[in-house]
Amino acid sequence: MPVVPTKPPNNTGQPVAEAVEGRGTAKGNTDDPTRSGRSAGAGVPSGLDRVREVARKDKEARFTALLHHVTLSRLWAAYVAVNPQAAPGVDKVTWEDYGQDLRANLEDLLQRVHSGAYRAKPTRRAYIPKPDGRMRPLGIAALEDKILQRAVVEVLNAIYEEDFCGFSYGFRPGRSPHDALDALSVAITRKKVNWVLDADISDFFSRLDHVWLEKFLEHRIADKRLLRLIQKWLSAGVIENGDWKETREGSPQGGLCVAAPPCGVPLSRSAMVPSWSCSGAASHRFT
């Protein structure tokens, strides 16, 4: 039986909780197109169809004008998609507080983004235990940074979702680890499989090279304003025990934008293998 949402999505025109998603049964086809996700909120008008078309037809195209796709409606939908119960960042602004004067706040954020006056805030460092007993560092972004990151990820996805292979599942809209396991189950039961490799990149997020990440992005992105915006997030630093620390490498685990080129490039581990073939033996791999 497919897993279905327990309640329908809320109206994206009002400040409401994020929508729930359902998951159907495995269909056995890892090349199915990615379903539209909720990076910036389900149902938000795209305005990115032309970008998707060019990205699909021309794998060498570099996009020079993308930031204008960050609009008020996209920011509004991104706000709706943020978890209302999420912990606040260094500015201690909550989802509910920001929503008290939502339109004015988002219009002000939009003006700062397009005028270049926007400044990314440092992330707040928190730790959660790992299965091996070590502590995993997380970066809790300020609410405005979360909103803007979701909107930017939506724009980047218009390009990179056309570049991803069908066997890639990590950090993609409309896909989840459950979907990857479903596809893996189908593959190993219906196809001849000699071995299964389970691998992980050690300390990937904390050791991410900013220079190489920017090089990956520049393969497809030539919009200098958008690149500078991403650089602001990468260099904003972290606040830990009241002290600011510079971030010369790595990206806060839990940050949305880094979870998005091929995060994800949008900005994720999948960005490390954009040259993999999407056919033949490679189609049995799941990332």
Can you tell me the distance from the alpha carbon of 254 to that of 258, in angstroms, rounded to the nearest whole number?
8
**Quick one: pLDDT at residue 254?**
63
Spacing of C-alpha 90 from chain mean position: 21
pLDDT tens for 185-224 read 888 888 888 888 888 777 777 778 888 888 889 999 999 9
User: Average pLDDT in the 232-260 region?
Assistant: 75
Can you tell me the distance from the alpha carbon of 205 to that of 109, in angstroms, rounded to the nearest whole number?
27
| Sign of the Cα pseudo-torsion (233, 9, 50, 176, in order) | positive
For residue 75, pLDDT over 90 is answered with: yes
Average pLDDT across the chain, whole number: 76
For 19-23, 56-60, 238-242, 264-268, which range has the lowest pLDDT when averaged over its residues? Answer: 19-23
pTM of the model: 0.72
**Quick one: pLDDT at residue 256?**
54
User: Average pLDDT in the 65-76 region?
Assistant: 96
For residue 20, pLDDT over 50 is answered with: no
**Quick one: pLDDT at residue 240?**
86
Can you tell me the distance from the alpha carbon of 126 to that of 108, in angstroms, rounded to the nearest whole number?
29
User: Average pLDDT in the 171-190 region?
Assistant: 87
For residue 171, pLDDT over 70 is answered with: yes
**Quick one: pLDDT at residue 278?**
56
Higher pLDDT among residues 94 and 43, named by residue:
94
**Quick one: pLDDT at residue 46?**
60
For residue 131, pLDDT over 90 is answered with: no
Higher pLDDT among residues 251 and 284, named by residue:
251
